[in-house]
Structure 1
């Protein structure tokens, strides 16, 4: 199971106040049930972290996540939560999409200095994706986790930037 070994997350039991963090969710459109769960999980995290007005942008698929995340970063978003799911098939398409989306999101984070919540599920089966989607009966809530990670990271980046602006 992918969640094995995950850290105990203090910020999930006592979320930070991120009411003034500018955050957006960019979500793929494939696999409706899984995506609905991921988006709902991300929105629960936004509520828990007191985010006032998260933006939500839908894109056709996971391959398109990085370019829209970059556009959001360029518009001043401090955190972007990227949600998608790619399920392995019988062709190399899975590897290409997973690699491109992952590399692209990493590039956005590094090039723009923006927190990226990595909520791209890369699964062998639909059952594995459903088990991570935060739905009733799911063992994990990757949408929530990705949003929480982005918000905590955005807060850390703010602290670092403020500290070194005054030095």
Structure 2
């Protein structure tokens, strides 16, 4: 957590859009709350939600891809806590690469709401619990919807030349 520079996460007008949310069940106390916050953010923005659950963070990308084919945006939520082995690095890389590939392949925003932390206390501080410094379920959802609106603006704007003629 950088502790600075985060953009405002006020609701945007995403009326008519659908948010697909996939959340891991691993660290359920945290991911359940993050899921609730993501759904609340979507509702505050006027968007519908479609929710799916998976066992752990490694399973997030494949379900995120299925959601991206049905929804306007996808939010992936999970918690990965560093342990004593390289497993943390492999999981984080796999999830990040997978979600990025889906966003680019499908041309839709896929929010990376997976907490990658050294300790469970760091995860609690980012999960949007009472007293948490951050609310990644909410923030990831608003960010994805904001990106979808930006894509809509770009693709529906009048064509004009940019650069040298």
Q: CA deviation at 1:158?
A: 1.2
Structure 1 moving runs of 4+ over 3 Å: none
Q: Which residue of 1 aligns with 2:163?
A: none
| Superposition TM-score, scaled by structure 1 size | 0.90
- Out of 53, 58, 67, which is 1:72 matched to? 67
Summarize deviations over 1:103-132 as a string: whole Å, max 9, x none.
Answer: 100000111101111101001111110111
Equivalent residue of 1:58, what SS? strand
Q: Which residue of 2 aligns with 1:141?
A: 135
- Out of 44, 57, 77, which is 1:62 matched to? 57
Q: Which residue of 2 aligns with 1:48?
A: 44
C-alpha distance in 1 between matches for 2:95 and 2:6: 25
Q: Which protein shows a greater Rg? A: 2
Equivalent residue of 1:85, what SS? strand
Summarize deviations over 1:137-159 as a string: whole Å, max 9, x none.
Answer: 21110111100100000111111
Q: Which residue of 2 aligns with 1:19?
A: 15
CA RMSD across the alignment:
1.5
Q: CA deviation at 1:3?
A: 4.2
Q: Which residue of 1 aligns with 2:4?
A: 5
| Superposition TM-score, scaled by structure 2 size | 0.91
C-alpha distance in 2 between matches for 1:21 and 1:47: 10
Count how many residue pairs are aligned between Structure 1 and Structure 2.
160
Equivalent residue of 2:22, what SS? strand
Evaluate the alpha carbon distance shift between residue 44 and residue 3 of structure 1 in structure 2; reply closer, same or farther with a 3 A threshold.
farther
- Out of 125, 137, 142, which is 1:131 matched to? 125
Check the 8 A contact 1:42/1:146 in 2, yes or no: yes
